[in-house]
Amino acid sequence: MFSYCTDPKALSDAVWLSVPWLEHSFLTKWIVDFINSLPWFSCYLTSAKHVDFYWSFLTVLLLLAITAPAALGMGFLGATAARSHVAPVSWIGKVYIWMVRGVPDIIFFLFFVIALDQAIEYSKSLLVCDGQAWPWQGLEFRVCPEAKVPLAKSAPFWHQAYGFFLAVVTFAIVFGAFVANVLYGAMQAVPRAQLETAEAYGMNRGQVFRRILIPQMWVYALPGLGNLWMILIKATPLLFLLGVKDIVYYARELGGSKTQAYEYPHGDWRLWYFLGLMVFYLVFTRVSEIGIAKLTRKLSHGQATAAGEALRKAAA
C-alpha cells in the first residue's frame, strides 16, 4: 500500500527512519524504537492478508444481519405452529423446538452442514447426471462433476459464498428453535382476558392473533430475544468450524509465529490478536445492550408489566 513496502526485506534491519537528533533528546530509547518501527508496522498491517482480516469483520456483521431476521422468522413460524389447534401442525412445531434445543449446538452445526450439502448435491445430481446410482465413499456419495456445488472450476469466491450460505441456513434453524421457544412463552404470557375481550367485541381468531396477541407479546419476548441476540453474537466464531474464513481464522493465521521465510517475520502474537477480538465483541455486545434497553423502554410504555409500571411511576 505504501511505496516503501515494495521490498519487505529492506525493513528487516529495524533502521527504517533516520532521526539521529532523538538520540540526544529527552526521549527514551523505547520511544525511539517505536518511531523507528512505525514503517514496518504500517506495511505489516496493510498487507493483503490483513486486508482480508479487516473484511472478515464485515463477514461476521453480514452473518448477523441475515441470520437474525431469518431466525426470527423461523421462530415465529415454529411458535405459531406449536400453539396451533391443528394437532399435526402443533406436533411439528413442538418437535422442531424440542429436537434442535435438545442437541448441543456444535454437534448440530457440524451434522447439519454436511447433511444439507449432501442433500443439495444429490438433488442436483438427479437433474444433471446420467443415472442415479452413486457409490458411497465414507460419509458421502460420489456424484458426477457437474453436480458438485459449487463446481470444482468455480472461483474461490463461490466456494466461500456457498459455505457462508450453509452457515446462515444452519444458524437460522438452530437459533430459530430458541426464538420459537421464547415467542411461544411470550404468546402464552399475554393475559387471556385481553384475548377474550377482543373476541367479545366480534373479532375472529385471526384478527385477535394479528391485532392483540402479536403486538402484546413483544414486550414479554424482548428480554429472551435480547439474550438470544447476545448468544448469537458470541456464536459467530463457529463460522471458523464451518470452514468460513472469519475473524477467528485470520487471527489465528496472522498471529501465529512467522519465520524469516515470510515477508514480515514475528513471534507468536496470537495473544494480541485474540485480545483485539475480545475488545471487539465486548464493544459490540455493550452497544447491543444499550439498543435493547432503549427498545424495551419503548415497547413497555402503557403495558401492564413491571417495566411498564416503572415507567408510569417515573413519569408521574
pLDDT for 146-166, tens place per residue? 878 888 788 888 888 888 888
Report pTM. Answer: 0.78
Give CATH superfamily name and number for 57-267: MetI-like (1.10.3720.10)
Q: What is the pLDDT of residues 33-48, one digit of tens each?
A: 555 566 667 777 888 8
Domain ranges for the chain? 1-36, 57-267
Q: Compute how many other C-beta atoms are within 10 angstroms of the C-beta atom of residue 252.
A: 13
Three-point CA angle 305, 307, 312, nearest 5°: 90
Q: Mind spelling out the 3-state secondary structure of 42-84?
A: HHHCCCHHHHHHHHHHHHHHHHHHHHHHHHHHHHHHHHHHHCC
pLDDT of residue 14: 43
**At 289, which amino acid appears?**
E
Average pLDDT over residues 236-252: 84
DSSP result, 1-30: --GGGS-GGGGTTS--S--GGGGGSS--HH
